A and B are shown apart, each in its own frame.
Chain A
Amino acid sequence: AQSVTQLDSQVPVFEEAPVELRCNYSSSVSVYLFWYVQYPNQGLQLLLKYLSGSTLVKGINGFEAEFNKSQTSFHLRKPSVHISDTAEYFCAVSDHGRGSTLGRLYFGRGTQLTVWP
């Protein structure tokens, strides 16, 4: 089974500053990687995904993430945040190696991003 580590539970940042939310995963087998955002009392919304190809992935709302296989990381970045980006962000990994379970996602514990004016 995969384990997903989001290194920061809380990230406070001022508006228009850059931000990086960190995510590391355990398995070295072929993986699919995702970042989701959750606003209060709502479900999760997909920000971006890495399935294959270019290691730099661009998503919605100006977010991007870079897949680093050697470091088993998939950090999320935004060059300039807005107050509306305040939300909880979840990294998720799907293990597609041999014997994997269909569509099984493993989630990190989440990072609360708070953007201050």
Chain B
Amino acid sequence: DGGITQSPKYLFRKEGQNVTLSCEQNLNHDAMYWYRQDPGQGLRLIYYSQIVNDFQKGDIAEGYSVSREKKESFPLTVTSAQKNPTAFYLCASSIDLSQPQHFGDGTRLSIL
């Protein structure tokens, strides 16, 4: 079955540590996205990528970094510069402008 796989499902970060969240898709989609979800705030866009080796900042990119070396993969790094990283992180992909986004099951990040 085609879909989006996010790992791990739960992740803990120590103060001052960088952590990387994985997102892999086998839908052959060109566009991929990272969102952050906090209670009562909906989804906020962190980064998105239209094609391989290209990505753009979203609304809340500070303290995060991404790479898009392969079409299937769009990992997100939460750096130590992100002072409030505790949240639910969702990865999504879409084939083109007119099609809706497909979502992974998310990674919940917590601070130790």
A109 pairs with B31, CB closer than 8 A: no
Chain A residue, CB-CB nearest to B50: A102
Answer whether residue B62 sits at the interface, using C-beta atoms and an 8 A cutoff: no
- Which of A4, A43, A46, A105 lies in contact with B106, CB distance below 8 A? A43
B104 at the interface (CB under 8 A from A): yes
A45 within 8 A of B: yes
- Is A96 within 8 A of B100, CB to CB? no
Interface locus among B12-20, B39-47, B65-73, B78-86: B39-47
A76-116 residues with Cβ-Cβ distance < 8 A to B are 90, 94, 96, 101-105, 107-110
Residues B37-65 near A (CB distance < 8 A): 40-45, 48, 50, 56
Q: CB of A34 within 8 A of chain B?
A: yes
**CB neighbours of B43 from chain A (8 A):** 44, 90, 105, 107
Seed contacts A34-B100, A103-B96; 20 additional CB < 8 Å A-B pairs: A9-B40, A41-B106, A42-B106, A43-B4, A43-B6, A43-B104, A44-B92, A44-B103, A45-B103, A46-B102, A51-B98, A90-B43, A102-B97, A103-B97, A105-B43, A105-B45, A105-B101, A107-B43, A108-B42, A110-B42
Residues of A within 8 A of B (CB): 4, 9, 32, 34, 36, 41-46, 49, 51, 90, 94, 96, 101-105, 107-110
Binding site for A on B (CB under 8 A): 4, 6, 31, 33, 40-45, 48, 50, 56, 90, 92, 94, 96-98, 100-106, 108
